[in-house]
Amino acid sequence: MFTLAHITDPHLAPLPSPSLSELMCKRIVGYLSWHYRRKRIHQSRVLAAVVADIAAHAPEHIALTGDLANLSLAAEFVRARAWLEGVGPPARITVVPGNHDAYVEVPWEEGLAHWADYMTGDTRVAGAPQGPALPRGFPFVRQRRNVALIGLSSAVPAGWGRASGRLGTRQIEALAGTLADLRRRGFCRVVLIHHPPLPGLAEPRKALDDAEALKAVLQREGAELILHGHNHRHMRNVLESRHGPVPVIGAPSASGLARGHKSAAAWYLYRIRRQAGVWRIDASVRSWDAGAGAMVDNDRFQLTGPDMARPQDKIADVGA
């Protein structure tokens, strides 16, 4: 059995003080939003409780689907690197970036390069891009026993007031080849992406621009599990593919207090095993309970059988 924790959208606090020149762009909107609203939602003590709870459960691997930063300030990438190292080594954590990690155009070396070894593939797979075939090496594939983690980047700078994402044609084509090859070789394919990967799962200004093209590839090639973030709430969907149902599961922000339709911080633990030639995946959800000031059991479900069809709103929001 392979155990995989999923967290997303830590939006690390506190926000470093930006220079005036750093604010002379779209960042000014995010800066005001942080100080007037978001800093009361994203709490370091909540994130610390989530991280400690994950450590207590000792999963073999952790998937982190983006939005570590808030405004993509140079200091945020450095601080996030230090935070990541406190959570675990690059071999144990796989990261894909979110829109807040590409809030504005930032040179690779000043930004995402700080997390590069958390976003690097370790297995050569026919059909997957190698070396400089794609900018920044997405998708990448990490093999952990018979589980393949496939990292996608939907993080691109979006216009003012937008939080959209895009994979691009080359990344989607490379993903198709990668999924097909890994399926033939019998891997449990777990796809990591920041934005909800299917059309209609996010409001248009926050959505993945090429979700239709991604959906077509997923319908054709299948996948055993897709994990995402971005919407800051529990989401559970199923995509029917030629190779069976594909669970698509989104987690709330790992630092967030419940507010409106946003869920309290939570993390998911997936137990993956192969039984009688079929992948069996069980999930359990642990959430922040603000009243108790502690992490508590929230939900358990299976990604095979009738649980797959359960409506997403059956996952309760605990705490406030």
List of residues contacting Fe ion (CB under 5 A): 9, 67, 98-99, 230
3 state DSSP class of 91: coil
User: d(Cα 211, Cα 3) in Å, to the nearest integer?
Assistant: 28
- Complex with Fe ion: residue 262 or 280, whichever CB lies closer: 262
What CA–CA distance (Å, rounded) separates 219 from 36? 42
Inter-CA distances, 147 with 169, 186, 243, Å: 25, 9, 17
Strands across the sheet containing 266-275: 93-95, 61-64, 2-7, 266-275, 278-289, 294-302
Shortest separation between residue 98's beta carbon and Fe ion, angstroms: 4
State whether residue 186 is helix, strand or coil: coil
Smallest distance from the beta carbon of 246 to Fe ion, in angstroms? Answer: 21
Q: Which is nearer to Fe ion, 129 or 229 (CB)?
A: 229
Closer by beta carbon to Fe ion, 99 or else 263: 99
| Nearer CB in complex with Fe ion: 9/221 | 9
| Least distance CB 151 / Fe ion (angstroms) | 16
Residue (9 or 22) nearer to Fe ion, CB: 9
- The residue (of 253 and 298) whose beta carbon lies closer to Fe ion is 253
Residue 17: which of 5, 42, 35, 41 has the closest Cα? Answer: 35
Shortest distance, position 46 Cβ to Fe ion, whole Å: 14
266-275/235-241 β-pairing: unpaired
In whole angstroms, the minimum distance from the beta carbon of 100 to Fe ion comes to 6
Which residues 6+ apart lie within 8 Å of 118 measured at CB? 64, 84, 90, 93, 94, 95
Order the strands of the 235-241 sheet from edge to edge. Answer: 140-144, 147-151, 188-192, 225-228, 244-250, 235-241
Smallest separation (angstroms) from Fe ion to the CB of 127: 28
**Phi, psi of 271, rounded to the nearest 5 degrees:** -110, 115
